[in-house]
Amino acid sequence: MAAARGLPRGVLIDLSGTVHVGSELVAGAAEALANLRQRGVPTLFVSNTTKTSSRRLHRQLTEELGLAGVTPSDIMTPLASARMIIEARGIHNPFLMVSDDAREEFDGMPPAFPGSSYDAVVVGLAPAFFSYDHLNTAFRAVRRGAPLIALHKGKYYATGTTGTDHDLALGPGAFVAALEFATGAEAEVVGKPSRGFFELAAAQLGVPVDSLWMVGDDVRSDIVDSVRAAGLAGGVLVRTGKYRAGDEAQLAALAQEGRACAVAEDLSDAVGKILELAAAAEQTGGA
């Protein structure tokens, strides 16, 4: 259902750190999502998680966090994007540096040819795979010409709610960078903030990519880089999850470029700001 005039045509919402932090739902998140639904605004959860399959994410949102009205098609992750790429390119034996849970996303793929070498390397958040031996296996495959597919290049992510660095954990970006440095190859990023990821999201919602708004807690990956790479209508940074004091300063460049952006206390506040910004843009002839 298309949104009415003066409303955003589509809102993309990060999950971890924005809707929930760890096993706790961010206060007001359920009401914020209901607000968008009641107004007929199309929404899509766009998570850069690479350790959890889409099926597991859906169970987490509905059964563990108690969010009503969420379907599996409301969730988009880099794992799904990676599978689409693997199938489209006829890749038969990828070296999957992903968690056991994330491997669900690749169930049912054609089996590898007996004795074949790895013909792609897929890197997600999988601490068990970041040993020297596993990284060396990936290094050798890429050196032989296998494409290096990064689910994303996140530096770190939030594991708790205290708002301190004690709640931060290293993301897969450092390991992707190590493989790029050692092999001279450039990783193909299939999650946020790649344009291709947002084009798939726009297609799923049936709206132009430049009409989408993004909400997230990562000032670079969710907001600055995503708005620029995909030409989104705008972005709102929330002060939850991995947000750290001073992050909003990085939005200044976006504002100078004439791109709509804002800072919100949480998802509920972010929805209010997007509704205001979209209405203002409609009045001035914008997106």
Q: Choose the weakest-confidence range: 6-15, 71-80, 106-115.
A: 106-115
Q: Hey, where are the domains in the chain?
A: 10-77+192-283, 88-189
Nearest to 238 by CA among 225, 222, 226: 222
Q: Choose the weakest-confidence range: 36-45, 72-81, 152-161.
A: 152-161
Average pLDDT over residues 27-46: 96
**CATH, range 10-77+192-283:** 3.40.50.1000
In the structure, what pLDDT confidence band is assigned to residue 113 with cuts at 50, 70 and 90? low
Q: What is the pLDDT of residue 158?
A: 72
Q: Is the pLDDT of residue 160 over 90?
A: no
Q: Is the pLDDT of residue 241 over 70?
A: yes
CATH superfamily of 88-189: HAD superfamily/HAD-like (3.40.50.1000)
Residue 62, CA atoms < 13 Å, CB-side half-sphere: 13
Q: What is the pLDDT of residue 155?
A: 87
- Is-same-fold flag (10-77+192-283; 88-189)? yes
Give tens-digit pLDDT for 124-138.
Answer: 999 989 999 999 999
* pTM of the predicted protein model: 0.80
Q: Choose the weakest-confidence range: 146-160, 219-233, 266-280.
A: 146-160
